[in-house]
Amino acid sequence: MLRVKPLGQPPKIWQVIEKKNKDGKLMKFTIQEIPEDRYEDAIQHMCTYFLADEPTCQCLNAKNDPLFMQDISTLWRLLLAEDISIAAFIDNPNGGKPIIAGMNVLGIEHKNQKKNLSDYQFKSEKFKITYKVLSITSMLYEHYEVDKYINALGLSVNPDYRGYGLGKELLKIRDFIGSTYGVPATATMFSSIISQKSAANAGFEEFFTKNFADVVDKDGKEYYPNINSKAFKIMGKRFI
């Protein structure tokens, strides 16, 4: 595992933000590194919301594909263990653990080091293709002339908290992560127009675009037929 955060360091709180809800009441969100005791809650959040809404996962009906869910959950757990993934927590009005209003699974990619993910034997053919698309971000090494960067495998907001710009706020936190841990840049594949707009508003630049209709197998058959998004974009940002 590649780590930039020292072992044993408690979860870092990056920012506390306030948003007005539809009734005009203030909601306070704490954006912080996800504690280890919330990892499984984070996986549950991603399986519930991300798999249902992210265009490629929705197109492939991933939430009803046990092998796809197993593969992506394994990768999420590996990335969460790097200890830099973040969530926007809000107090639970019913008491108990704070609610994960939104989150972003993050990890570090290094040009000269092989990651555990590369050795993982995927069981789902559908996920193999999706992972190849996600891995296109490696073009960032040349684009920014860096040897490591922050990558991501899922930006998700609970439907109850959509419409408040939490996606953009989560993406902006990468500035703090990069400068704190000495990682010079970030890049991510954004598959929906909403996430692409959030990234642009968070200062990300676009440096690769491809229509989903052009993602085909050797016989020219589309991998994502009838997907509800026209194109995916690789978008990035240099911090240092």
Instruction: Read off the amino acid at residue 52.
Output: A
Q: Is residue 67 part of a domain?
A: yes
| Total number of domains constituting the chain | 1
| Single pTM value for the model | 0.94
CATH number at residue 214: 3.40.630.30
Structural contact between residues 202 and 154, judged by C-beta atoms closer than 8 angstroms? no
Q: Is residue 2 part of a domain?
A: no
pLDDT per residue rounded down to tens, the chain (240 residues): 578 999 999 999 999 999 999 899 999 999 999 999 999 999 999 999 999 999 999 999 999 999 999 999 999 999 999 999 999 999 998 989 999 999 999 999 998 876 655 557 889 999 988 888 887 888 899 999 999 999 999 999 999 999 999 999 999 999 999 999 999 999 999 999 999 999 999 999 999 999 999 999 999 999 999 999 999 999 999 997
Q: Is residue 7 part of a domain?
A: no
Q: Is residue 5 part of a domain?
A: no
Q: Is residue 185 part of a domain?
A: yes
Handedness of CA 7, 13, 15, 18 (dihedral sign): positive
Domain of 51, in residue numbers: 13-238
- Which residue reads 């809000």 in tokens? 90
Q: Is residue 145 part of a domain?
A: yes
3-state secondary structure of 210: strand
